[in-house]
Amino acid sequence: MPASDNSRQPGRPQRGSGSRGAGPRGSDSRSSGSRGSGSRASAPGGQQRSRQRPSDRSKQAEPARFAAYTLLRAVADGAYANLEFPSIIRRHRLDARDAAFATELGFGTLRMQGFYDAVIAEAAARPTSKIDPGVLDVLRLGAHQLLGMRVATHAAADQTVGLARTVSGAGASGFVNAVMRRVSEKTRDEWQAIVVPNDGSTAALATEFSHPEWVVSALRGALLGHGRATTGTVSGELRALLESDNTPAKVSLVARPGLSSVGELVASGATASPTSPFGAVLDHGDPGAIPAIRERRAAVQDEGSQLLAAALAAAPVAEGVPDRWLDLCAGPGGKSGVLGALAVQSGADLVAVEVSEHRADLVRSTLEPVMARAAEAGASVEVRTADGREVGEGEPAAYGRVLVDAPCTGLGALRRRPEARWRRQPSDLAQLGPLQRDLLRSALDAVAPGGLVGYATCSPHPAETTFVVRDVLKKRDDIEVIDAREFFRDASGEVLHDLGDGPEVQLWPHVHGTDAMFFTLLRKKA
């Protein structure tokens, strides 16, 4: 429905369907026929099309689809999908099967919305900016069911029209019905041939893989800048990387060293990770149901994060450097969890610094079992709410090992944060740059001669990685860069494959199955 046609509040669901409201009453996902019933007619492309008139179709949205819609509206209001969705699932009282369906629908739609918008604009014969935002979200969900999931065409169409009626009224449902019919007339490949220019351009890749154009350009630059690709190979590498951003990450677990073990996670249903010595992968089931995770002796964590914490702990330092380790940007505490556990094992103390009070509280909660273990071992693990930029001046040369897991754009973790690609802006790079440099300078001041600083980002963008390190080191002659690659060891103790020319390490989702983490290892000269 065009925005101007809609007399209701733009982007706001109606009839008690607000993004934080209760789900529709009287509909049941199992009995609604959402994945099965309805009369059918053949449509081009061998698909099935419903013969029902919109007025005969599902009167109300089915709860799983309604939950996915609620997620999209909450994200449009600024929510983070990963944080918001668990409470949406609870509010809509979805069982495990419906929750899985809603997750695939909501997260998949958010990821692929760039491609779907191109299809919807073509099918609706108007730019998506002329469609009411709430109705556009309904159409995006419908497009994902038709083109990205194995939902029967008639069920996808019926349920999408029902959702439109529930959230935007009968007026919208006619428009949605017409657009859904047009979308369903072609397969995904046929739509791709229509909406993706056949010229290999950045714009074409952006539409095909549903990324903003600037992100496609940035990732191409990162592949070249980190030596992962040459001008001859970058096109294939980039397609593989973009594809991996659209593939939901597996659920990776970490057994915090000394508190849990890979064996314990395997006994709870996970599979040992070949990539990380502390890692396991959960193929199905709720990680929160695993006792070690409930007790925070283990956690959900990308294997790349595990590997870089382990690398910082394993690289040799000069004799006599303080047995005090520092995590300068600790919130919410994932890497602190591994680093703290390894510190305790080697008889060192850990100080975890985080500027945000709320995130510092999360670190405290994450580290509780590590703190208890440290107390037993006569070591200390402390969490401070403080500005990491001031630690170097306040405590010069006080630490043996320092991790700077710098705030960054997160361009290396797009597969985990489905909406992040649409939210980030090129201007974020300029904003974060000075903070990243200040934090690294502070870390280099805080480390003792002979000690190590690890600078990490979950972005491969050279502006946040190599340029930051290069700029900071330009003004210092007391630091040497160490080859970090030999400290990235897989579960069998072998150096990880394809780490590049060094001395820094850049991991890639399409190569290593991890987030695209960057890590440089720096030693202060003794």
Ligand X SMILES: C[S@@+](CC[C@H](N)C(=O)[O-])C[C@H]1O[C@@H](n2cnc3c(N)ncnc32)[C@H](O)[C@@H]1O
Please give the positions annotated as active site: 458
Contact 522, 479 (CB under 8 A): yes
- Are β-strands 399-405 and 479-482 bridged in parallel, bridged antiparallel, or unpaired? unpaired
Instruction: Establish whether 445 is an annotated binding residue.
Output: no
Q: What token pair was written down for 516?
A: 């695209």
For ligand X, give the closer residue by CB, 242 or 353: 353
Instruction: Establish whether 387 is an annotated binding residue.
Output: yes
Binding interface with ligand X (CB under 6 A): 305, 329-335, 353-356, 359, 387-389, 405, 407, 435
Amino acid at 466: T
DSSP E strand stretches across 192-284: 251-255, 271-272, 279-282
For ligand X, give the closer residue by CB, 39 or 425: 425
For ligand X, give the closer residue by CB, 118 or 313: 313
Handedness of CA 394, 397, 398, 400 (dihedral sign): positive
Question: What backbone phi and psi angles, to 5 degrees, belong to 101?
Answer: -65, -45
Distance in Å, CB of 335 to ligand X, minimum: 4
For ligand X, give the closer residue by CB, 272 or 435: 435
* DSSP per-residue string spanning 16-38: T--TTSPPPTT--TTTS-TTS-S
For ligand X, give the closer residue by CB, 106 or 410: 410
For ligand X, give the closer residue by CB, 92 or 324: 324
Q: Which residues contact 157 (CB under 8 A, 6 or more apart)?
A: 49, 50, 57, 142, 146, 177, 180, 181, 184
Tell me the three state secondary structure of residue 349.
Answer: strand
Distance in Å, CB of 217 to ligand X, minimum: 23
Distance in Å, CB of 332 to ligand X, minimum: 5
R_g over Cα of the chain? 25
Give the position of tokens 């990387």. 241
For ligand X, give the closer residue by CB, 186 or 335: 335
Instruction: Establish whether 334 is an annotated binding residue.
Output: yes
Nearest to 256 by CA among 155, 138, 335, 362: 335
Instruction: Establish whether 59 is an annotated binding residue.
Output: no
Q: How far apart are CA 115 and CA 491, in angstroms?
A: 38
Q: What token pair was written down for 121?
A: 């604009």
For ligand X, give the closer residue by CB, 37 or 82: 82
Instruction: Establish whether 405 is an annotated binding residue.
Output: yes
Instruction: Establish whether 335 is an annotated binding residue.
Output: yes
Contact 381, 412 (CB under 8 A): no
Instruction: Establish whether 45 is an annotated binding residue.
Output: no
Distance in Å, CB of 481 to ligand X, minimum: 22
Distance in Å, CB of 204 to ligand X, minimum: 32
Q: State the virtual CA torsion across 63, 65, 70, 72 in degrees, nearest 10.
A: 170
Distance in Å, CB of 404 to ligand X, minimum: 9
Nearest to 352 by CA among 379, 325, 377, 373: 325
Q: How far apart are CA 188 and CA 196, in angstroms?
A: 11
Distance in Å, CB of 72 to ligand X, minimum: 26
Q: How far apart are CA 1 and CA 6, in angstroms?
A: 7
Whether the bond between 332 and the residue before it is cis, its omega within 30 degrees of 0, is yes
Question: What backbone phi and psi angles, to 5 degrees, belong to 390?
Answer: -100, -5
Amino acid at 62: E
Nearest to 363 by CA among 403, 336, 326: 336
Distance in Å, CB of 351 to ligand X, minimum: 12
Containing 523, the helix (H) or strand (E) segment is strand 518-524
Q: How far apart are CA 135 and CA 163, in angstroms?
A: 9
Instruction: Establish whether 486 is an annotated binding residue.
Output: no
Residues of the binding site for S-adenosyl-L-methionine? 329-335, 354, 387, 405
Residues of the binding site? 329-335, 354, 387, 405
